[in-house]
Amino acid sequence: MKRLCVIPGDGIGQEVVPSAVRVLLKLLPGLEVVEAEAGWDCFLRCGQAVPEATMQRMRECGAGLFGAVSSPAQRVEGYRSAVLTLRQQLQLNVNVRPVRSWPQLSPRADVDLLILRENSEGLYIGREHMESADVAVAQRLISRQASEHIAARAAEVARLRSSGRITLVHKANVLPLTCGLFRDSCRRVLAEAGLDSIVDERLVDVAALQLVERPQDFDLLVTTNLFGDILSDLASHWSGGLGMAPSLNWGQGIALAEPVHGSAPDIAGSGKANPLAAVLSAALLLRYHWQYGEQADRLERAVEGLLTEVTITQLEGETTRVVEQELLSRL
């Protein structure tokens, strides 16, 4: 029997995650749900953004659904982002971010791409220091191991999606050591997987422009941490925005699904939050981690049916409750 560690976190995470869990339970009635806490509110209550008990529950379950955090914009002694802590301590080294067109919400109907973002290193290792009073320095770490790891995942995803194109996104003309190592490691692993004929590459600035101009030409993009963060937010425009942007933090034998959006404190508690990014994140958990492709298809078809048959006006107001009811009636 599958187990799921549920970590709603801050703000609207407290609404969209329970809603997504109820939908998931309709698909997997035997799923065992284990609750845990993390985030800024948790830090204020108990002095830790991710208590050890939460880490322990995640490790025991091997799968989780996380909502959102509201980290403060300035440094707070003893606090580190709950999202980054979970990703790093659980070695969730790859982030899966699909972008596809949805009825009513998408500005165009022909987008179906997926960005694989390296999730553990790059600029996000958080090694910053003041070199002098006026100069701040951040280190960017790229390792052969992590680059090979994401490339191996890319080969897996490419097979599952029957991809016709894998695009490596980097900036090796300016950063030949770090981006060069990333690109060359990925190329080698993908060639060994027999996929070299479908691999191409783009400089990150060119990729950004082309994701705006011709998003329908992309299939699977593989890139480093910061580039993936930025490009996936940009590309989420084609899905209808961050409210339709799911993700999966994917490790070895463990994964944490997580809507890309934040805690949206301005609408928290109003019932207006859209739970679809959380629901679609659960679909990623089904497809890639548990390898329940059929259930993932059913869930995505239910979302497609909902967005085809129910008008956006009907979803306004009590969005969380209405979306959940509509999905439950389609499963």
Instruction: Copy the structure tokens of residue 259.
Output: 């809507």
E strand or H helix that includes residue 163: none
SS3 112: strand
Q: How far is the CB of 82 from ligand GGG (least distance, A)?
A: 7
9 three-class SS? strand
Contact between 246 and ligand GGG by CB under 6 A: the answer reads no
Binding track, positions 70-89, relative to ligand GGG; x by CB under 6 A: -x---------x-xx-----
Q: Are strands 199-203 and 166-170 parallel, antiparallel or unpaired?
A: parallel
Residue window 83-122: x/- pattern of binding to ligand GGG, with contact defined by CB under 6 A: xx--------------------------------------
Number of H helices, E strands in the chain: 12, 12
Q: Which of 16, 68, 221, 282 binds ligand GGG (CB under 6 A)?
A: 68
Query: Of these, 24, 38, 50, 69, which contacts ligand GGG (CB under 6 A)?
Result: 69
Query: Which residues, 6 or more positions from 111, have their beta carbon under 8 angstroms from its beta carbon?
Result: 99, 100, 101, 215, 216, 235, 238, 239
Looking at 201-209, 237-245, 257-265, 303-311, which segment touches ligand GGG (CB under 6 A)? Answer: 257-265
Rg (Cα) of the chain, in Å, rounded? 19
CA dist., res. 36 & res. 319, Å (int): 25
Residue 264 makes contact with ligand GGG by CB under 6 A = no
Catalytic residue among 41, 229, 288, 292: 229
Is 233 designated active site?
Answer: yes
* Residue among 69 and 307 whose Cβ is closer to ligand GGG: 69
The residue annotated as part of the active site, out of 110, 196, 205, 297, is 205
Neighbouring CB atoms inside 10 A of 132's CB total 7
Backbone angles phi, psi at 152, to 5 degrees: -65, -40
Binding flag, residue 229, ligand GGG (CB under 6 A): no
> Is position 288 annotated as part of the catalytic site?
no
The span from the CA of 220 to the CA of 97, in Å, is: 10
Which member of 215, 228, 262, 275 binds ligand GGG (CB under 6 A)?
A: 262
* Beta carbon nearer to ligand GGG, 218 or 227: 227
Binding-residue total with ligand GGG (CB under 6 A) = 12
Report, as residue numbers or ranges, the catalytic residues.
124, 171, 205, 229, 233
Binding site for ligand GGG (CB under 6 A): 68-69, 71, 81, 83-84, 258-263
